[in-house]
Amino acid sequence: MFFRRTIYLATLVCFFTISNIYPAFNQSEKFKGLTVVGSQRAYQGDPFEEISKLGSNFISLVPYGFCRDEGTQIRYNLDRQWWGEKEVGVIESIRMAKAKGIKIMLKPQVFMHAKWVGEYDLKTEKDWLEWEKSYRAYILFFAKIAAENDVELFCIGTEYKVAVQKREKFWRQLIDEIRSIYCGLLTYSSNWDAYDKVPFWDALDLVGLSAYFPLSNRETPEINDLLKTWQPIDNKLEQFSKKHGKKILFTEYGYLSVDGCAGKTWELEENIRNRNKNQTAQAIALDALYQTFWNKSYWQGGFMWKWFPEMMGHEGYPERDYTPQGKLAIEVIKKQFAQNRP
């Protein structure tokens, strides 16, 4: 009873805090976000100057944790991790971004080498409880950082397709614990094909999803074809938003700069170095997404995947990667981010 009362009082305090500190959430301005990749070392200059000039008002920081297939332990904030993924780099990135007037989504995310985290499953109750203990420690570690550094938005998890359905009670308890220490907005990042199976949207502030909907396999798609393909998806998302009384946030969206980038992007990634470069296809795909959603009141905006600060953190193929830096897509983004400025 005491614990529940404490959670209730903390949540009440947070409600008034959000109302006073984050009034922009109730306005029409979109979240014009970029996912800033953690860099190997401390910044040499100020990468957020360029991001601010682009018109971005939000960034996503992703401090990765790591888990083995069928393992139960999340490893994070390790000495051998890149600077931008560790506590020191996350805090400094928050500070520097805020100095440029940019808001923050902190999005701790688990990476698995052998499989996609959405397929993560365990065989016994004992294993699930061990994983829950470890995941809880990982998330609360960064929730505390979010609270101490006035982060506006916190993402409690990413693409756990199986775990969110099997362990609903755990996720709801975790949300309560986060709200007891953190007063910002909360979301969860569902995969594009599973957002309607997440059982705890009622406990969060925004419906988040990784928006990698496959639209076209054409090497360079026609924008009108993409707009037509988006239409039923748009309608379904709008109805889902109305049903739950929550705005939709694209916690991730983006396109590789290769042939067929508007299709099944996860398949293109498998042989990315041998794909034909195609900046035009990337620019068209982004333009179609913006034309579809930007003026929809139910759509809060999103975070483009991804941006390399000072071009650090890439895996050796930035000319084919999701980043728009130095490509045709950057002009599409500049034009769109210029809209709805405060």
Which residues span the domain enclosing 241? 30-337
**Total domain count, the chain:** 1
Q: pTM here?
A: 0.92
Q: Tell me the per-residue pLDDT of 275-284, one tens digit each, with 9 for 90 and over.
A: 999 999 999 9
Identify whether 20 is part of a domain: no
Identify whether 6 is part of a domain: no
Confidence of residue 7 (pLDDT cuts 50, 70, 90): very low
Identify whether 121 is part of a domain: yes
Identify whether 25 is part of a domain: no
The Cα–Cα gap between 117 and 301 comes to 25
Q: Tell me the per-residue pLDDT of 177-197, one tens digit each, with 9 for 90 and over.
A: 999 999 999 999 999 999 999
Token pair 């109750």 in the structure block, residue = 125
Mean pLDDT along residues 205-210? 98
Identify whether 14 is part of a domain: no
Q: Tell me the per-residue pLDDT of 46-89, one tens digit each, with 9 for 90 and over.
A: 999 999 999 999 999 999 999 998 899 999 999 999 999 999 99
Mean pLDDT along residues 270-290? 97
Identify whether 229 is part of a domain: yes
Identify whether 199 is part of a domain: yes
Identify whether 308 is part of a domain: yes
142: CATH: 3.20.20.80
Contact present, 182 and 153 (Cβ < 8 Å): no
- Which regions of the chain does DSSP assign to beta strands (E)? 31-36, 58-61, 64-66, 75-76, 103-106, 109-111, 153-158, 185-191, 206-210, 247-253, 299-307
Q: Tell me the per-residue pLDDT of 85-144, one tens digit each, with 9 for 90 and over.
A: 999 999 999 999 999 999 999 999 999 987 899 999 999 999 999 999 999 999 999 999
pLDDT for 340: 64
